[in-house]
Amino acid sequence: MTDTGLAAVVREAGRRHGDSELYRTTDGCTLTYRQLDAGSDALAAGLARRGIAAGDVGVLLLPSGPAYALCYAALAKLGAVTAGVNERLTAPERRACAEVAGGSLVIGTRALLEGTGIESGTAADELVVLDLPSAAGAGAVLHAVLSLGVEGGAPGPLDEDPARPVAIVFTSGTTGLPRGAVFGGRQLDAISRIDGAMRWGGGGRGLSSTSFAHLGTMTKLPQVLRGGGTSIVMDRWSAGEALELVERHGVTTLGGIPTQVALMLAHDRFDATDLSSVRLVALGGGPSTPALVREARRRIGAPVVVRYTCTEAGVGVGTAPEDPDGDAEESVGRARAGVTLTVRDDKGEPVAAGQVGEVCLASDATMTGYWRDPGATAAAFTADGAVRTGDLGFLDDRGRLHLSGRAKEMYVRGGYNVFPQEVEAVLEEHPAVSQVAVVPRPDDVMGEIGVAVVVPAAGREPPTLEELRALARGRLATHKLPEDLLVVDRLPRTAMEKIDRRTLAGLVAPAP
């Protein structure tokens, strides 16, 4: 048999990896590879009795973990499309995602349905409320999920169709309606190939702290299943618990957004934690500063790689463990094999090395489009089919990509463009700075000026504005230096753990 297609991979993983743990939650619930296969068979049979078939959309309002994985696998075995909704979104945001998906089926817990109005609305033809027990073992969770299924049942045969949609991944953001990026079997296979993850075995132990509705699980579940490793699923991420879990479970790959790794390094129990099991640190989902990469490599004692993509592109660029140290410190690496990376001007034309433009990515892994939104789909692609990421950056003479920030984050001071990410990378090197974000404030004279929003390092007095300017002077042009300072306990974040710059703009706005 072939091992392509999510449904086929679920079956083969159950056969190969059997009773090995696929997921373990922090409250002790586990799911084995065999349980995923058998359980999703039974659940698929039950959903088929409810009329769910190939091409239908199932919306999941479920916490990340075994129940989510079972439902996703079951829908794939029916040829249905799974639209996962991030459990960390607000109730109105969750409802908006469900309405965009327009699913035939919604499966949700009472807690995540509460306040959405879905139970009394028309977000789906069929609504299933799943009563998941809290702090329960695998048996209780399986029983709750399989109460929807047919014991010993299995779905009927499914024709292979690589173009059939498998997943709808909602884009993150703080404004506007959500958009659902669509990925089919062909894209999931391409992502595995580009990641070099078509082989069976070799998986280790990792922490899973992002929503299963995110691009990671929704498009990379096949390669996770092939690997045969174990993911420790965290309900709510905290630096202290993450450190404890790494030590207790012998985590081999420490992945996360840069902020999470920075908070672990700053935690007071870091030096007392045994991290000798860690073989690789992988940073993605946000910008990494040179200082963070160097510190993580030195203190964790493992290679550090960085990854960059956007939801719509599926996969993009990155560094490898064997690359020179400077690659991960100075850039986000080179295009992965099978990915075409270009930087373009506002007319869609490639720009010269060293010139800032919009980063564009093309590969077999890119989304087919936004769900039921042809206008937005057309705007997301260049004329020759590359995804427009909305990020600004430039290529150096070695083909490495350097990010300058989001196009919408750039501001203009006195006629000169300022890219916050460039300024933040310098300011974060101040020893009294734990985290920093630079956001613009309207100014009557200059148009806009930069405000440094700083979280002080533990046990240190906050830096002064002049100290920050002195650090950056000589490395940044004068128009890029911050002109005001705001000290906060923490930076606001979106549901996807990215800096919420919209909220920050409100914090630094001039008084009315």
Residue 209 lies in a domain: yes
- Order of strands, sheet of 57-61, starting from the edge strand that comes earlier in the sequence: 126-129, 105-108, 57-61, 81-84, 165-170, 180-184, 369-370
Does some domain include residue 255? no
Angle formed by the axes of helices 290-300 and 258-266, nearest 10°: 50
Q: Report pLDDT for 159.
A: 84
Domain end residue (candidates: 178, 209, 230): 230
Q: Which of 411, 455, 419, 412 minimizes the C-alpha distance to 436?
A: 455
pLDDT digits (tens, 9 = 90+) for 351-367: 999 999 999 999 999 99
CA 507 to chain centre: 26
| Residue range 54-69, pLDDT digits in tens | 999 999 999 999 999 9
Range from 121-135, 207-221, 271-285, 454-468 carrying the lowest mean pLDDT: 121-135
Residue 1 confidence (pLDDT) above 60: no
Contact 167, 218 (CB under 8 A): yes
Q: How confident is the model at residue 257 (pLDDT cuts 50, 70, 90)?
A: confident
Which of 131-136's residues contact partners 24+ apart within 8 Å by CB, and which partners? 132/62, 132/63, 132/67, 134/27, 135/27, 135/28, 136/27, 136/28, 136/29
Strand ranges, E, within 337-446: 340-344, 357-362, 369-370, 387-395, 401-406, 411-413, 416-418, 433-443
Range of the structural domain that residue 471 is part of: 411-508
Is residue 214 one of the residues assigned to a domain? yes
Q: Indicate left, alpha or beta for 339 from its phi (over 0: left) and psi (-120 to 50: alpha).
A: beta
Q: Is 64 left (phi over 0), alpha (psi -120 to 50) or beta?
A: beta
**pLDDT over 70 at 483, yes or no:** yes
CB neighbour class for 11 (10 Å; exposed up to 12, middle 13-18, buried from 19) = buried
- 306, HSE (Cβ side, Cα atoms, 13 Å): 27
Q: Does 395 map to a domain?
A: no
Residue 249 within a domain: no
Q: 209, 230, 251 — which closes off a domain? A: 230
pLDDT recorded at residue 123: 59
- State yes or no: pLDDT of 174 exceeds 60: no
- Three-state DSSP class for residue 168: strand
Q: How many CB atoms lie within 10 A of CB 433?
A: 22
3-state secondary structure of 338: coil
Percent of the chain as helix, strand, coil, to the nearest 5: 30, 25, 45
Burial 77-108 (b: 16+ CB within 10 A, else e): bbbbbbbbbbbbbeeebbbbbbbbbbbbbbbb
CATH of the domain at 26: 3.40.50.12780
Let me know if residue 80 belongs to a domain: yes
Domain-embedded: residue 387: no
DSSP state of 323: S
pLDDT in tens, 125-137: 788 888 876 655 5
Indicate the residue among 195, 230, 265 that finishes a domain.
230
Once rounded to an integer, what is the mean pLDDT over residues 21-30? 92
- As a whole number of angstroms, the distance between CA 4 and CA 306 comes to 27
H/E run at residue 207: strand 205-208
Residues contacting 368, CB < 8 A, separation 6+: 163, 165, 182, 183, 184, 187
102 inside domain: yes
How far is residue 327's CA from residue 330's CA, in Å, rounded to a whole number?
5
Average pLDDT along the chain:
90
CA distance 450 to 441: 6
For the chain, the domain total comes to: 2
Alpha helices in 239-391 (DSSP H): 239-249, 258-266, 290-300, 325-330, 374-380
Choose among 265, 270, 266, 262: nearest CA to 287. 262
What would the pLDDT profile of 416-437 be if each residue is shown by its tens digit?
778 898 899 899 999 999 999 9
Is the torsion defined by CA of 348, 331, 488, 500 positive or negative?
Answer: positive
Whether 349 shows a pLDDT value over 80: the answer reads yes
Task: Give the number of other CB atoms < 10 A from CB of residue 471.
Answer: 19
Tens digits of per-residue pLDDT, 293-348?
Answer: 999 999 999 999 999 999 999 999 999 999 999 999 999 999 999 999 999 998 99
**CATH code of the domain containing 445:** 3.30.300.30
